[in-house]
């Protein structure tokens, strides 16, 4: 065991995940160290992160006697050969498109909270990110084809779907919403998390905790009662608890994310007032207003930690990356929740789509576990998203702008607010605003976007009305 020394390449080392994930890797028991290869095209952020990870490696050697070599480079092709594990956390375009992703849809009445997984913001993040991701996967197939690939970058389901349709490499999409939500439910039910039994399945950010029990007793009656009677419990996640009341189970993502995944909560001002709260509970423009400052704060924090490591939590966290590496490198089987090709794991969801289910990891790699059918109302919510993801990936792989229009027109929130012609005009406006970061075929032949129907629409939140100009007004 003491001779196992994996090589881990971290793409997008400027990510806020980097230090925590690599700390966890360095804390895996019985590894003899290894090499951590940091890659980022932003040289300033790469330098800060490399200093911090080197400081962490020094601490691990002094305290645990393990030797981790740390390398930083802007060129992934230099470090991919010999890599055993690739962790992907890239962010294409930085903060350049944050306001476009939020503000252009808002003109059409589409109010987003986070906007990086589905909806206008998520679809355009895919247009920016998937091409770079496919290039990375091609390099992995050529330079380290046996590596396990761990993706943390959103839009998670679209990224994973693009991967499973494009590469022979073993790829899994990773999030922390299942870990966080299952622990939250244990707190609401007031039972020890380690004693709670649960099942979870669906798609990333829309997985359902279909079973929760303790000592053989169903916990949902108690959770329903607490959410209805305890205002503090309900207010912690209004949209998630409302969906639980009406659909029958709790969902794995925050009320803010969830509210923009559905056609119910953000299409009218009165509904926003009733169900949305601040921050991750549904605040309007929450990411757009805060993301640029968060990035600056993250860089500043990393610089501080590199100078004084005692300010960092040096305990192993709950991200799945280190569990996967431990299970695979040391053949210590572990169960994680990951986004993987469905292929019948949830039979009443599209077989060629990506689902989030329990996945056994061992020396062989990823072994997804069959979940079985979701209750039909839950499957229907997931399926509506999977059709959008499918169209986005088809559009990107086939360079087909029509598929992107169709994806936008089928997005649940966008479709609840706008007519198809308005969504087509909005897509064109976003494409022109972000043309430097998305494929050229998205803007070919567009010229200047028509203003017809693009700034004032007859639906949405507090927007002025225009006269109806007929079915071809925005086309």
DSSP letter (8 states) at residue 470: -
Q: Please answer whether residues 261 and 413 qualify as being in contact, where contact means their C-beta atoms are separated by less than 8 angstroms.
A: yes
φ, ψ at 465 (rounded to 5°): -95, 150
Question: Is the C-alpha dihedral spanning 8, 11, 13, 19 positive or negative?
Answer: negative
**137 to 8, 83, 122, 148, 162: CA distances (angstroms):** 15, 13, 21, 11, 10
| Tokens 């080197």 found at | 54
Extract long-range pairs of 16-21: CB within 8 Å, 24+ residues apart.
16/294, 16/298, 17/89, 17/152, 17/319, 18/49, 18/53, 18/89, 19/49, 19/52, 19/53, 19/56, 19/302, 19/305, 19/312, 20/313, 20/317, 20/319, 21/87, 21/152, 21/319, 21/321, 21/322
φ, ψ at 119 (rounded to 5°): 75, 180
Which of these, 28, 52, 91, 29, lies nearest to 320 by C-alpha position?
28
Which of these, 296, 259, 311, 333, lies nearest to 111 by C-alpha position?
259
Q: Which residues are catalytic?
A: 176
DSSP 50-77: HHHHHHHHHHHHHHH--EEEEEEES-HH
Strands 85-88 and 7-11: parallel
Distance CA 23, CA 36 (A): 11
Cα-to-chain-centroid distance, residue 359? 18
Question: Which residues face 206 on adjacent strands?
Answer: 203
Question: What number of residues does the chain have?
Answer: 475
Q: Where does residue 264 fall: left (phi above 0), alpha (psi -120 to 50 degrees), or beta otherwise? A: alpha
Query: Token digits for 286?
Result: 């929450």
């Amino acid at each position: 065991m003491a001779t196992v020394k994996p090589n881990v390449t971290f793409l997008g080392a400027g990510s806020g995940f980097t230090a925590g994930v690599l700390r966890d890797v360095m804390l895996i028991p019985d590894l003899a160290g290894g090499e951590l290869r940091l890659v980022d095209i932003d040289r300033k952020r790469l330098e800060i992160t490399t200093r911090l990870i080197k400081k962490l490696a020094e601490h691990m050697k002094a305290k645990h006697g393990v030797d981790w070599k740390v390398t930083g480079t802007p060129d992934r092709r230099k470090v991919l050969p010999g890599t055993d594990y690739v962790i992907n956390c890239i962010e294409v375009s930085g903060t350049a498109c944050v306001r476009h992703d939020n503000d252009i849809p808002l003109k059409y009445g589409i109010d987003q909270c986070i906007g990086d997984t589905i909806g206008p913001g998520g679809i355009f993040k895919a247009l920016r990110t998937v091409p770079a991701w496919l290039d990375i996967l091609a390099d992995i197939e050529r330079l380290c084809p046996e590596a396990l690939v761990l993706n943390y970058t959103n839009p998670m389901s679209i990224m994973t779907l693009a991967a499973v349709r494009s590469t022979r490499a073993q790829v899994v999409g990773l999030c922390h919403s299942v870990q966080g939500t299952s622990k939250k439910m244990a707190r609401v039910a007031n039972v020890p998390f380690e004693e709670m039994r649960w099942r979870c399945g669906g798609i990333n950010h829309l997985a359902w905790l279909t079973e929760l029990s303790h000592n053989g007793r169903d916990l949902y009656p108690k959770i329903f009662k607490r959410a209805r009677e305890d205002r503090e419990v309900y207010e912690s996640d209004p949209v998630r608890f409302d969906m639980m009341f009406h659909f029958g189970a709790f969902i794995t993502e925050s009320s803010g994310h969830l509210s923009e995944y559905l056609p119910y909560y953000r299409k009218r001002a009165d509904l926003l007032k009733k169900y949305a709260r601040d921050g991750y509970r549904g605040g309007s423009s929450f990411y757009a207003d805060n993301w640029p400052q968060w990035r600056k704060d993250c860089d500043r924090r990393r610089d501080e930690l590199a100078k004084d490591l005692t300010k960092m939590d040096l305990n192993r966290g709950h991200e799945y990356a280190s569990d996967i590496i431990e299970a695979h490198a040391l053949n210590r089987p572990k169960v994680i929740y990951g986004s993987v090709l469905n292929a019948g794991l949830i039979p009443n969801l599209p077989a060629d789509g990506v689902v989030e289910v329990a996945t056994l990891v061992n020396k062989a790699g990823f072994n997804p576990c069959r979940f079985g059918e979701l209750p039909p109302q839950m499957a229907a919510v997931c399926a509506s998203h999977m059709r959008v993801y499918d169209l986005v990936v088809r559009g990107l792989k086939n360079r087909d702008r029509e598929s992107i229009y169709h994806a936008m027109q089928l997005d649940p929130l966008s479709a609840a607010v706008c007519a198809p012609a308005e969504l087509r005009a909005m897509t064109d406006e976003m494409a022109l605003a972000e043309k430097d970061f998305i494929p050229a075929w998205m803007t070919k032949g567009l010229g200047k976007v028509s203003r017809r129907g693009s700034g004032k629409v007859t639906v949405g939140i507090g927007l002025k009305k225009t006269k109806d100009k007929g079915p071809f007004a925005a086309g």
